[in-house]
Amino acid sequence: MNRYIGRRALITGGGSGIGQATVLRLLAEGGSVVAADISEAGLHDTLTRAGEVGGRLTTVVVDISSEASVREAVGSAVSTLGGLDVLVNAAGILRSSHTEDTPLELFETVIRVNLTGTFLMVREAIPALSAGDGPAVVNFSSTSAGFAHPYMAAYAASKGGIQSMTHALAAEYSKRGIRFNCVQPGSISSGMTDGSGQSGQSVGPGLPEDADWSLFTKLQPILGSGFAGPESVAGVVAMLASADGAFITGTEVRVDGGTHA
């Protein structure tokens, strides 16, 4: 498929996981892409993986929790691409802990990166998207937004906020022709799903060491033999932001292999 020939996309979280897979998917379909990430090493890896289509890929370092960094990164991307048609907000963090042991700083960090970061990216990109060709935004919610995932209160709050915000944006900008949708990944193998607990509060996404696994009544997808790769979500993102998704806005698509069917 060549749905992205002549189309310009900015993708956050482009240095790893689903974000990186989405960068590679849109490049494979002919798009010109700016991959944004806080990790320079991750962006270098994406450039390497892009191979022969890397000539249509540019990278930019961004901290999506910083208003100044977002403003600079979006401006750079729009300048490089000569405009903007697609924004994919895949960047995010997952932290897990017992709620009563969760420092306010940790809770606010998750909200700041996931929810506020998505807002900042959208806000800065709207002027360019308004002048784009079939403009579309794909935000990243999660199955955590609608299903009980213990020890992940901050993450669930951030992803639920993104989902609600996406519906509001779809209505607000419908007359400008900008479509807003969410994906809800679940049971996907990516950098965000790796990690291990430490002393009751994980540094990364892993659960606390004393987590009660009986609280997780459903963990495995009903399709396949385990977690799917990030490319399974990238394909859905590519559809939503393409002409094939032209009549889809203000909704979310769950990609979890039926884990929460």
C-alpha distances in Å from residue 168, one per residue of 77, 158, 164, 178: 25, 15, 7, 12
* Length, in residues, of the chain: 261
Rg (CA), the chain: 18
CA gap 221, 116 in Å, rounded: 30
Q: Which contiguous run of DSSP H or E holds residue 34?
A: strand 32-37
Contact 62, 89 (CB under 8 A): no
Task: Return the closest-CA partner of residue 245 out of 86, 103, 32, 121.
Answer: 86
CA gap 102, 3 in Å, rounded: 44
CA gap 114, 141 in Å, rounded: 9
CA dihedral defined by 231, 77, 82, 11, rounded to 10 degrees? 20
Query: Is 155 a residue of the active site?
Result: yes
Task: Return the closest-CA partner of residue 118 out of 78, 70, 83.
Answer: 70
Q: Which position among 4, 151, 155, 173 bears the catalytic label?
A: 155
Task: Return the closest-CA partner of residue 251 out of 92, 111, 136, 90.
Answer: 136
CA gap 90, 137 in Å, rounded: 11
Which residues belong to the active site? 155
